[in-house]
Amino acid sequence: MRDESKPAFLEQLTSKLRDRTAVIGIIGLGYVGLPLTLRYAEAGFRVLGIDIDGAKIERLNRGESYIKHIAGSDIAAARERGFEATTNFTRAGEPDALIICVPTPLNAYREPDLSFVLDTADALLPFMRPGQVLSLESTTYPGTTDEELKPRLESRGFVIGRDTFLVFSPEREDPGNPDFHTRTIPKICGGATAACLQAGIALYSPAIDRVVPVSSTRAAELTKLLENIHRAVNIGLVNEMKIIADRMDIDIHEVIRAAATKPFGFTPYYPGPGLGGHCIPIDPFYLTWKAREFGLHTRFIELAGEINSDMPHWVVGKVTDALNRRGKSVMGSRVLVLGIAYKKDIEDMRESPSVELMEILRDKGAAVDYSDPHVPAFPRMREHHFDLKSVELDARTVASYDLVLLATAHSAFDYDLIGQYANLVVDTRGVYLSSLPNVVKA
């Protein structure tokens, strides 16, 4: 018997999701969309993946992975379960659920760039049909779902909460982290209406262990920003503490290790050469931009952003001082940057501070090379270019550089060899715990 309290389309949708007969559409098959695709396939759903990158689509349909920490065998297994990838947006009417997982970068003025989200929505809309749920997972400012996506759906004649369902459910992927997986990371979900929230819960519950409902899409959007701003602010704090400790000739990593022994009231955060990744360096700007609409100036958040953004220049200052003490200048020196991914043991270079370090050093006249086992050749990037390949490390190679700059502490590096043979090491990650005459901590 039909539940009279539910709109007919909602009852049909939730029934198909519960029975796993629904088709799941994932738009954007990158670091967020691809793991989600694999999880839905593993949970027994047929998945249609849509991406504008034809090369990615070809590899996926051959059962190959293009993300290092995702095994090709997992792609092949998903293919056997019915996963298909395409560049054809006209197929957007086939899935019962459409989940948007596309980038939300900043423009040249450090303002939100929603072009990927809006272009994706505009490409999907002509082919959507009644009975679908549309979920946005891309990190954005509070109000995006209500102010941008909802009017677009309504312009096509859909009634939100009756024949189409709209939710925001922010991604929480941590690429390369072996302790957490898509299934085990709780999923925040907010709906444009109460019926939309029901649809969102029905969408994610079969694939995710725990779905956490919130009162609105705006609450869900702000939740994601709070999570990442919390990290950005605390990293800004510890980066400022690092500068203070350095001036006082105190090892900040020793201090953090000691403070972390307190069993309550302290969470350790670690300094570095700047912020990387697609979320933490970018998300604070989404909130500060939106806050201005309400006449608010987010001074605390912006100050943390300034500190973190300035860290590459501070590190280069340490490089300059270290070379000066050896009677060398940055100009003409050979510098090897260790690790250009934004964090250890992955190949993801989005917003990596290592790239900014390389550019500053190059602009100052240094001959810059890099070594990164996860990035064999410097990739094509919109704003950065180096015609370089990763340098293989051995004693002779390490000794041939005037300075080795440790920017990303990959597990694969032989730190004993580097410490033994490098003329100078500037360590931005606290790898070298004991004091070595050729190691400068930054």
Which amino acids are annotated catalytic?
Answer: 279
Give alpha helix (H) positions in 43-114. Answer: 54-61, 72-80
Q: CA 439, CA 427: separation in Å to the nearest integer?
A: 7
Which residues 6+ apart lie within 8 Å of 141 measured at CB? 112, 221, 225, 286, 287, 289, 290
Encoded tokens for 261: 């022994």
Q: Say if residue 327 is exposed, middle or buried (CB neighbours under 10 Å; 0-12, 13-18, 19+).
A: exposed
Q: CA 221, CA 201: separation in Å to the nearest integer?
A: 16
Q: CA 237, CA 143: separation in Å to the nearest integer?
A: 29
Encoded tokens for 230: 């919390």
Which residues 6+ apart lie within 8 Å of 31 measured at CB? 67, 173, 175, 278, 348
State whether residue 135 is helix, strand or coil: strand
Identify whether the C-beta of residue 75 lies closer than 8 Å to the C-beta of residue 65.
yes
